[in-house]
Chains A and B, each alone.
Chain A
Amino acid sequence: MSTSTRSAPPPGTQEPPPTKAPPRRGRRRTRTGWRRALRRDWQLYSLAVLPLLFFLVFRYLPMIGNVIAFRRFEPGGSIFGEQWVGLRYVEMFLSDPTFWQVFRNTLWLGGLTLVFCFPIPIVLALLLNEVRRRSLKRFVQSVSYLPHFLSIVIVAGITMQMLATDGPINHALGWFGHEPIRFIQEPEWFRTVYVGSEIWQTAGWGTILYLAALTTIDEDLYEAARIDGANRWQQIWHVTLPGIRPTMITLLILNVGTFLAVGFEKVLLLYNPLTYPTSDVISTYVYRTGVESNSFSYAAAIGLFEAIIGLVLIMSANQLSRRTVGTSLW
């Protein structure tokens, strides 16, 4: 038994060595090093085989599958397409007015989400931090985390119910003598609706990491600030905020990195053809052209464009914060 299983691990574990060629050492030394590592830890390596297969098939194969952006693809044929067509699909989407519209919509939604959904949890965490009664604090926390645990379908359903013409928001507008607004059908309301429901869903849960960072701030720093005559606001400005700055920067980088990937599922659930002028974003456009209209190559080209911009954004945000404030993800 042991001989057969002993020969099993190498196939799954042979990928790592070429990517990690240690400098200076001779080839033979590396090889014997690996042989020894395999002999000693083959059971550990064998545990990694299935997970590596998962990453290979379901994460890295689709990355390579993006070559269909440059190849003609036929449904039922090879997942890597049939023949090279160069930049045809890229040129196609660059001259497609709908693409530029969904690109603008994506920037708008992403920008608004960043501007509102990034700072609100910070403010909320600071407010919670000032609460003296622990039971009250815990109650507010429990309630505000709740929307995070619900399916996005339920969140979208609740949003639509609240904004329906017979819903509470239109009812409240009625008190001021306002005509009911068809929030879900009117393009000029989509961004407000989207960002509003995003805040409702994420603001509470977003405070967790800040609240954790706040508890790590040394109480002596506040003491020292008080002795120096700092009032409450000055203490927040000079002690509290610098204390949570690393958390802020980390989350900001992550937010910038996912900027273009604006809540695809939520947009898909909340939009409809009437609101496309403001609600249609890159990812929903990719979904419709690819999956619904079967233009796989064309949709893949747009999707690849989005993924590359996302990668560039997160890398530059990371680089920028390392240079300027000395905090970075890697």
Chain B
Amino acid sequence: MVKPSRSYRVFQGVNGVILTLVVVVTLYPFLNIIARSFSGERQIRAGEVTLWPQGFNLTTYKIVFQDSMFWRNYGNTVLYTVVATAVAMVLTTCYAYVLSKKHLRGRSTLVGIAVFTMFFTGGLIPNYVLITSLGIKNSVWAIALPNAISVFNLLVMKAFFESLPSELEEAAQIDGLSTYGILLKIVLPLSKAVVATMVLFYSVSFWNSWFSAFLYMDRTDLMPVTVYLRNLIQGATGGSNAGAGTEQLSQVGANIQAVTIVLTALPILCVYPFVQRYFVSGVMLGAVKG
């Protein structure tokens, strides 16, 4: 091994500094928001909060925990995520399995029907008109059905099914298993990894989504927690909280956004360390074939 040159050692040093900066810039907002959520009003207004809570205060957490609408919306998020992910998994798995059968007549047309929608979509207004006239506004179906198949996820799954050895399925067919039986008893048990990845992909995206609900739900008690947070953020940009009556109100005004951000992000932050690598490998699989 050749001894690294002086300029290369300088480069390594600079590189380390840059990457440290990247980490700091990415993490600082999170830490600051968490610190704010536990801080006192006066310290927040004075801009004294950086990485650690100043003037420790739990008033806002208590207020939010007592807000029944917050919990109701959180429950909606769970419900919408579970239903929408279940619908999406059934439809995506079925279609991906069909598309993975190379001998199937009309297969390329079936692939084309899906892939074309990646590049051209109907757009917001026709979709809105459609959902309205189907009469599924204000129900979970307005969120689950229009997003039931993500073409990217479909292609990832199709690529995985194609990579399975065909001998097993042929043997099962000779043993008299129907196509449905093969899919349920042979293929899916072999595909646990990709199924888990897809469930993660879909559930994180439904958990995080807000616009479908914002568009198709008319009542606050039907909103997911993301819309709860959105209304809070937007409300505060219009007018200021100046002149709020009691001390408690001004404390809430100072950090209710930080508290709600923390509570909304918490589930994702908790599972993130465990699911991150599945996402990375899923994206790779999709990119190789896509």
Contacts and interface: CB of A to CB of B under 8 A. Distances in A.
A291 interface: yes
B151 to A, nearest CB: 9
B280 A208 contact: yes
B130 A61 contact: yes
B208 to A, nearest CB: 4
B129 A296 contact: yes
A157 B129 contact: no
Interface residues of B, number: 95
A307 to B, nearest CB: 5
A311 B119 contact: yes
B210 interface: yes
B123 to A, nearest CB: 4
Interface residues of A, number: 98
Nearest to A52: B113
Given A37-B105, A162-B32, A127 B19 contact: yes
Interface in B262-290: 264-265, 268, 272-273, 276, 279-280, 283-284, 287
Contacts of A136: 19
Contacts of B287: 209, 212
A192 to B, nearest CB: 15
A41 B260 CA distance: 52
Given A44-B101, A48-B110, A156-B233, A59 B129 contact: no
Nearest to B179: A43
A236 to B, nearest CB: 11
Interface stretch (A93-101, A111-119, A139-147): A139-147
Interface in A136-162: 136, 139-140, 142-147, 149-154, 156-158, 160-162
Contact of A160 (B95, B98, B237): B237
Contacts of B268: 149-151
Contacts of A291: 124-125, 128, 215
Interface of B: 2, 5, 7-8, 11-12, 15-16, 18-19, 22-23, 25-30, 32-33, 36, 44-47, 50, 90-92, 94-95, 97-98, 101, 104-106, 108-110, 113-114, 117, 119-130, 132-133, 145-146, 148-149, 178-180, 183, 204, 207-211, 215, 226-227, 229-230, 233-234, 237-238, 257-258, 260-261, 264-265, 268, 272-273, 276, 279-280, 283-284, 287
29 contacts: A20-B106, A47-B94, A47-B179, A47-B183, A48-B95, A48-B98, A51-B98, A51-B149, A58-B127, A62-B126, A63-B120, A63-B126, A79-B126, A131-B16, A142-B273, A145-B280, A149-B276, A150-B208, A152-B210, A153-B226, A160-B233, A168-B32, A170-B47, A185-B237, A208-B284, A209-B283, A212-B287, A265-B210, A303-B124
